[in-house]
Amino acid sequence: MRFDLGRQTTLARRAVLSGVGVHSGKPATIAVSPAEADRGIVFVRADGAREVEIPARFDRVVATELCTVIGAEGLSVATIEHLMAAFRGAGVDNALVEIDGPEMPITDGCSEAFLGLIEEAGVVRLKAGRRAVRVLRPVRIEQGDAYAEFLPFDGTRYDVTIDFTSPLIGRQGYVFDLVPGAFRREIARARTFGFMSDVEKLWKLGYALGSSLENSVAIGEDRILNPEGLRWTDEFVRHKTLDAVGDLALAGMPFLGHFRSYKGGHKLNWMALKALMADASAHEIVRDAETRSAGEATAFAAAVLAPAKI
């Protein structure tokens, strides 16, 4: 079977973004730069006497409790999922991400600012064909009544369901096909969220120190505390879908298949991806056999980064 995956991409130039870390509350700056074909997304911790490269891959994940954290040689980078989702949503395969500390800037709690950073840098095509992980048979991970699974599918689909006892959220489901323009239009602006009772506990433990109504949807006992309210009535499940896009980008390449989760999160996303990649009978790596013309590549990049129609 032949797949029209197109050619790999990278950034055209360097671009910089600054903010604060949601857990540390400290300033954080990243710089994204071009990288060669098959390099993937690589984080570079450059805040001390040495620089450490940390590939954004599932086998470099060191924590998933509050966010997704990757590490190497004793250094780590936390809360990478929103940038990784933006890279995957914008179709960027290769890039270097220099960061001056252990945590990504949270921006406004979603991927919109990171898409803006990618637009500023620009996206260009490389000569090498894109690779992808094709799901050949089902792989499923369960934890109690929660689960995450991969199924064969002709495309890239995320099928996420959440179920909270709070009537402000309840049970929400969202099915999202990753096609050009869809990420920006449907989920890039969906913000992270949390219950104020949980946030207050985290503050006492020294976490979520940078969390505020500027970068999170805060849920009180009987109302949403953000004055502007929600961006969508189902913003909660859309953000969980955004997280899944970012976490599964740690395959190091796109996947061709149907990802489905119920009551999932960073840990289940990662466990399912790790299980898929560990099972040689459940997946195969495919590479596009053809390249697109320069005109087609330009049209594709323009479609991916097209402004949202709200």
User: For 230-245, what is each residue's pLDDT tens digit?
Assistant: 999 999 999 999 999 9
Checking if the pLDDT of 184 tops 70, the result is yes
Q: Say whether 283 is catalytic.
A: no
User: For 79-88, what is each residue's pLDDT tens digit?
Assistant: 999 999 999 9
Residue 47 is encoded by which pair of tokens?
Answer: 């805040």
Mean pLDDT of 100-123: 96
Q: How confident is the model at residue 4 (pLDDT cuts 50, 70, 90)?
A: low
pLDDT at 1: 39
Q: How confident is the model at residue 296 (pLDDT cuts 50, 70, 90)?
A: very low
Checking if the pLDDT of 307 tops 50, the result is no
Checking if the pLDDT of 73 tops 60, the result is yes
Q: How confident is the model at residue 197 (pLDDT cuts 50, 70, 90)?
A: confident
Nearest Cα residue to 29 out of 104, 83, 90, 130: 104
Q: At what angle do helices 235-248 and 81-89 cross, to 10 degrees?
A: 80
Nearest Cα residue to 191 out of 308, 107, 295, 279: 107
pLDDT at 294: 37
Domains and CATH numbers, the chain: 7-304 (3.30.1700.10)
Mean pLDDT of 214-228: 92
pLDDT at 303: 42
Q: Strand (E) positions, 166-221?
A: 171-177, 193-195, 217-219
Mean pLDDT of 2-18: 88
Checking if the pLDDT of 154 tops 90, the result is yes
Those residues whose C-beta lies under 8 Å from the C-beta of residue 97, and which sit 6 or more positions away, are 30, 31, 32, 33, 41, 42, 43, 44, 56, 83
On average, the pLDDT of the chain sits at 90
Which parts are annotated binding residues? 82, 239, 243
Nearest Cα residue to 272 out of 169, 138, 81: 138
Which parts are annotated binding residues for Zn(2+)? 82, 239, 243
pLDDT at 291: 36
Residue with structure tokens 């970068």?
A: 215
Mean pLDDT of 140-146: 98
Checking if the pLDDT of 310 tops 70, the result is no
pLDDT higher at 272 or 290: 272
